[in-house]
Amino acid sequence: MSTFYITTPIYYVNDIPHIGHAYTTIMADAITRFRQAEGHQTYFLTGTDEHGQKIEKSAEAQGITPKILADRVVERFKDLWRVLDIRYDRFIRTTDADHVAGVQHLFRKVLEKGDIYPGDYRGHYCVSCEGYVPETAPEAASGNKICADCGKETELLTERCYFFRLSAYEERLLCFYKDNPDFIRPASRMNEVVSFVKMGLKDLSITRSTVKWGVPVPDDPEQTIYVWFDALSNYITALGYPDATADFARFWPADLHVMAKDILRFHAVYWPAFLMAADLELPRKELIHGWWLKDEKKMSKSRGNVLDPHILLKYFPADAIRYFLMREAPIGADANFSHQGFITRINTELTNDWANLISRVGGMVSRYFSNRFPGQADYSAAEEELREDYLELENEVRSHFDAYAFNRGLERIMEYVNRLNRYIVESEPWKMAGQETLQPRLEAVLKTLVRAILSANALLAPVIPRSAARVREFFNHAGEGFGWKDPGEKFAVRDVEPLFPRVDPKQFFAEELQDSHPSPSPKEAQMNEKPQTPEGVISFDEFKKVRMVVARVVAAEKVEKTDKLLRLTVDTDSDTRTLVAGIAQYYTPEELVDRKIIIVANLQPATIRGIESRGMILAASDKDGRPYIPVIPEETPVGAIMR
């Protein structure tokens, strides 16, 4: 029997589960169920990443141990997976003893091989946050980086740690990508990976002495193993690595790692390199999906636009959420989540088309045959056509699902559902009902509909398993595999109950979005007929958000190795700040010094050419992009606000 090993990332317990976690996990679950229906023996792994400084600190803040903190969050994940009908084989935690042992073994093995070596890590360390900031962080005038969390300057720190010899794997990785062009799906992501590796790989520091909450380095208890070496290893330790367990032999290498695009590099570059270093086989494929956006923006805790699946679960069954997420988003692209879109999709496709089809067919079988077919059906070409259409549908849907294009597959299934609804209207069974001679025809029509429903139901089952099981119950059919369903000529059915009760959009928006979602998207606001400023017009309040002040240029210099950039130091009265402007081709530093200009003072800082630019200079721009800096009357005080 062929096997299929699939994983989600392990989720960081610093965050409580949200729709993004749900998306990845539902996708993996649907794929698992699909592979099962195809006859594969599957192993589905998910879990949590529990180590690291953030956990250490937030546990400290709550006055509990990191493990207790993790235990609590883990329960929330498991609860959500239970509610969403996620059927995993193992929920691994990086604090599991076998994982810890496995990571240590892996570390030791690569160390002995020589691809892990001790060295010094130099980084920009934030004392108050007790952590390193990334190289991409903005830089202060002193040359030190600025910590994104607290805004304080960092200091350059050197600490002893272990490095992984990632640089040695550049060629081998590129070869691997070349030989396995399908390794990363969708293909566009593969290009990103290849170009990243081609730019050159630096060795990776994989341990920390500043972090205590982690897997200790074997024989060097001062050090703990840092995030990625620890976390990625879960995919093999879950199967029993380093022991030659039956699971490991049967399921490794993984057939599919599913993840969101933000952790692509770690899975597509670091992970294969680690495995090569350990002489292990590489995963076969990695499926990268996009993000769910809210109001066109990435959901984030700080933005407060995170979508909690529990709100939807109050109104809709888990299958509705599963269906929507799989149906709505194209394979690798970001998708926008809107409640309006959600309700419309569920009400039209699942309620009106699919559930109502089942309801009307079930109703007729009950009324006209008392739920039991006599077995005297008189079939015509129309019924045979329905069967043939189904077989064609199944081929297409399976190949879509095989390519993980669930949106396409589900779309095709709905076409078939529409086809069935049309068939009912065309055959007009209610007109046959009263006529004795047409009973065999009526039986043929309804039976064929039940068969078609059961068949389509099997295709839907990986995505909406719970309602699929109910449909099987309604029609007394146990088989979960694919194919044209034939329960026999004399089969009996049960009474059918509503599958996806209609949710009234008005009620949903009135009750739910008011309390739980203080800022509905513009579209939804319009649905609620709230007043809106006309397109292209901003309100006075919106205008007031922009803080423009008069500033005096204290110093100006060209940014080295650029043609267009000037680095300006300006005095705004309340502070002195640096900003970068792309005006060097038209203005010399000399003519700007001491001049008064207008700057946007509350613009989000950006790092340009390694310089943090806090604000932007206001200038008119002609169609060629040439800037014209307005002249400010000499007597204007520095710090004056424009309005």
Binding site for RNA (CB under 7 A): 136, 188, 191-192, 195-196, 199-200, 261-262, 265, 328, 330, 333-336, 344, 348, 351-353, 355-356, 358-360, 363-364, 367, 418, 421-422, 424-425, 428-431, 498-502, 559, 561-565, 579-582, 603-610, 613, 615-617
CB atoms within 10 A of CB 48: 23
3-state secondary structure of 269: helix
Query: Do residues 177 and 190 touch, judged by C-beta distance below 8 A?
Result: yes
CB atoms within 10 A of CB 534: 6
CA-to-CA distance for 444 and 439, rounded, in angstroms? 9
CB of 311 to RNA, least distance (A): 21
CA-to-CA distance for 223 and 210, rounded, in angstroms? 8
Residue nearer to RNA on the CB measure, 147 or 499? 499
Measured in whole angstroms, the distance separating CA 289 from the mean position of its chain's CA atoms is 6
Residue nearer to RNA on the CB measure, 28 or 559? 559
Residue nearer to RNA on the CB measure, 232 or 579? 579
CB of 36 to RNA, least distance (A): 26
Residue nearer to RNA on the CB measure, 356 or 569? 356
CB of 84 to RNA, least distance (A): 20
Residue nearer to RNA on the CB measure, 23 or 77? 23
CA-to-CA distance for 105 and 225, rounded, in angstroms? 12
CA distances to 109, 232, 427, 553 from 114, in Å: 9, 20, 75, 55
CB of 554 to RNA, least distance (A): 17
Residues pairing with 43 in the sheet? 5
Residue nearer to RNA on the CB measure, 219 or 495? 495
CB of 309 to RNA, least distance (A): 21
Residue nearer to RNA on the CB measure, 256 or 581? 581
CB of 358 to RNA, least distance (A): 7
CB of 363 to RNA, least distance (A): 4
CA-to-CA distance for 146 and 151, rounded, in angstroms? 6
CB of 31 to RNA, least distance (A): 20
Residue in the block written with tokens 């329905």: 386
CA-to-CA distance for 109 and 116, rounded, in angstroms? 9
Give the type of residue at 425. V
Which two tokens mark 508?
Answer: 């949903």
Residue nearer to RNA on the CB measure, 240 or 605? 605
CB of 5 to RNA, least distance (A): 27
CB of 587 to RNA, least distance (A): 12
CA-to-CA distance for 31 and 8, rounded, in angstroms? 11
Residue nearer to RNA on the CB measure, 539 or 621? 621
Residue nearer to RNA on the CB measure, 52 or 138? 138
CA-to-CA distance for 438 and 380, rounded, in angstroms? 13
Residues pairing with 42 in the sheet? 4
- CB burial class (10 A; 0-12, 13-18, 19+) of residue 376? exposed
CA-to-CA distance for 425 and 452, rounded, in angstroms? 16
CA-to-CA distance for 492 and 490, rounded, in angstroms? 7
CA-to-CA distance for 278 and 205, rounded, in angstroms? 17
Residue nearer to RNA on the CB measure, 21 or 400? 400
Residue nearer to RNA on the CB measure, 76 or 122? 122
Which two tokens mark 113?
Answer: 């091989």
CB of 353 to RNA, least distance (A): 5
CB of 484 to RNA, least distance (A): 21
Contact residues for 588 (Cβ-Cβ < 8 A; gap 6+): none
Task: Describe the crossing of helices 381-402 and 406-427 by its angle, rounded to 10 degrees.
Answer: 170
DSSP letters, 155-220, are EEEEEEEEEE-GGGGHHHHHHHHHH-TTSEESHHHHHHHHHHHHT----EE-EESS--SSEEETTE
Residue nearer to RNA on the CB measure, 37 or 554? 554
CA geometry: angle 604, 607, 608, nearest 5 deg: 125
CA geometry: angle 503, 504, 508, nearest 5 deg: 90
Query: Do residues 342 and 309 touch, judged by C-beta distance below 8 A?
Result: no
Residue nearer to RNA on the CB measure, 190 or 225? 190
Buried b or exposed e, range 383-412, using 16+ CB within 10 angstroms: beebbebbeebbebbbebbeebbbbbbbeb
CB of 189 to RNA, least distance (A): 8
Quick one: how many helices (H) and strands (E) in the chain? Answer: 25, 26
CB of 359 to RNA, least distance (A): 4
CB of 422 to RNA, least distance (A): 4
Query: Do residues 455 and 341 touch, judged by C-beta distance below 8 A?
Result: no
Residue nearer to RNA on the CB measure, 85 or 295? 295
